[in-house]
Amino acid sequence: LFPDPCGQTPIQGVSCDLFNGLWYPTVVSIGPVLDNSLQCAPDARFSPQLFDLRRLKSLTFYACFPAANPTAIPAASWDKLAGTLETLEFRSNPGLSGAIPASLGRLGSLQSLVLVDNNLTGAVPPELGGLAKLRRLVLSRNGLSGPVPATLGGLKGLLKMDLSNNRLDGRIPPELAGLESLTLLDLRNNSLTGGLPGFVLGMAALQDLLLSSNPLLGGTLMQRGWEKMASLATLDLSNVGLAGAIPESMAAMPRLRFLALDHNRLSGPVPAKLAALPSIGAMYLNGNNLTGALEFSPAFYQRMGSRFASWDNPGLCTAETAGGAPAGVAVCKDAQDPPRVGVRDRMDGGGRKPEASSSLPASSSSAGMVAVLWWSVLAQGMAMAL
């Protein structure tokens, strides 16, 4: 920094506060956020003087460490900022490599830890479970591996947990049931196993549960208890290896706006009550083994349009077509005789099978048309504020 970062000439990205008659830097944000932002040197390194900013509350590094400049997060001296630092962020640094230091668990005042879109590897440190004041934990789009630490269940005030787009494996720890204030749990695009944990039904504050693209997760949908999730707005369980039936109790979630169960191995009939979900704006059931007749009304299909998908279920048919019908689903020849050859053998007008993906726009991939529809449905949806 300049000799006097709190002088009369403001520095973009640096804010200062007055303590006992003296000015001290309290916010330091480095990287090309704005044209006149404080920039990183091409060969940037962490300076020991950084930890002498004893009044520092917020520290952000954005696009400071390119791949040509591999750099690790310092393991030492974070305890010097333990009494003041509330926000620590490293965003979009492809050269930021190595492990997440366990010493970050000593930042006792930290409320927001965001390490997103870097090249961090290794395990998620169990020591992060000691950050008693933490409200937001975002470690997405790295190369982290190993299990989700059970110690994270001790973060009683945590509101948002996003560990998506990594290489995490193992079971979702039951200790996470203790996160009573959690509104967002995003574990998409990992290699988790052990099935959908039943404890999620007891997380009354949860608004967004995103587990898609964990193809080894497996298990079944809980048949009872979904009515307890009165706050849930987004449920994304696509491509997680689910088997068994869709429970009728899933129709008891009053605020559910987005339901994705596609690309699993679900079987049996589709509960007619799902169409009565009062807030539903998008529903994806395609790519399963569902059977029987769809009993949704033509008005439901007209209202949902392309935001409802049920094709690629060979034994599924639709009972009605007058006034509206789902795309890619055959008309039932008889209510008791669903088609033996289904949409897997059908072609659209261009000679191609109809395709759809329900997946919410993962941070590391192209959102596509479904993302446009998603945001149009949930303009007021989850605030991931990364």
Give the CATH number, domain containing residue 370: 3.80.10.10
Which of 154, 156, 161 shows the shortest CA–CA distance to 136? 161
Based on the fold, state whether residues 214 and 336 are members of the same structural domain.
yes
User: Is residue 376 pLDDT above 80, yes or no?
Assistant: no
User: Is residue 348 pLDDT above 90, yes or no?
Assistant: no
Which pLDDT does position 256 carry in this prediction? 98
| pLDDT per residue as tens digits for the range 185-197 | 999 999 999 999 9
User: Is residue 370 pLDDT above 50, yes or no?
Assistant: no
What's the rounded mean pLDDT across residues 29-52?
88
Based on the fold, state whether residues 331 and 233 are members of the same structural domain.
yes
Which pLDDT does position 341 carry in this prediction? 39
**Does 383 fall in a domain?**
no
For the chain, what is the radius of gyration of the CA atoms? 24
Which pLDDT does position 281 carry in this prediction? 97
| pLDDT per residue as tens digits for the range 74-131 | 999 999 999 999 999 999 999 999 999 999 999 999 999 999 999 999 999 999 999 9
- 132-159 in b/e form (b: 16+ CB < 10 A) is eebbbbbbbbbebeebbbebbbbbeebb
Based on the fold, state whether residues 240 and 355 are members of the same structural domain.
yes
Identify the residue with better confidence: 236 or 1.
236
Predicted TM-score (pTM) of the model is 0.87
Domain that holds residue 1: 1-182
373 DSSP 8-state letter:
H
- The mean pLDDT value of the chain amounts to 87
Phi first, then psi, for residue 118 (nearest 5°) are: -120, -160
Based on the fold, state whether residues 157 and 217 are members of the same structural domain.
no
Which pLDDT does position 360 carry in this prediction? 64
- CB of 259 closer than 8 Å to CB of 286: no
Give the confidence band of 10 by pLDDT, cuts at 50, 70, 90. confident
Based on the fold, state whether residues 26 and 159 are members of the same structural domain.
yes
Of 182, 214, 238, the residue at which a domain comes to its end is 182
Please state whether beta strands 14-19 and 22-30 pair in parallel, antiparallel, or not at all (unpaired).
antiparallel
Which pLDDT does position 3 carry in this prediction? 57
Give the confidence band of 353 by pLDDT, cuts at 50, 70, 90. very low
Q: Which residues contact 31 (CB under 8 A, 6 or more apart)?
A: 13, 37, 38, 39, 40, 60, 61, 62, 63, 64, 91
Of 126, 157, 182, the residue at which a domain comes to its end is 182
| Total tally of structural domains belonging to the chain | 2
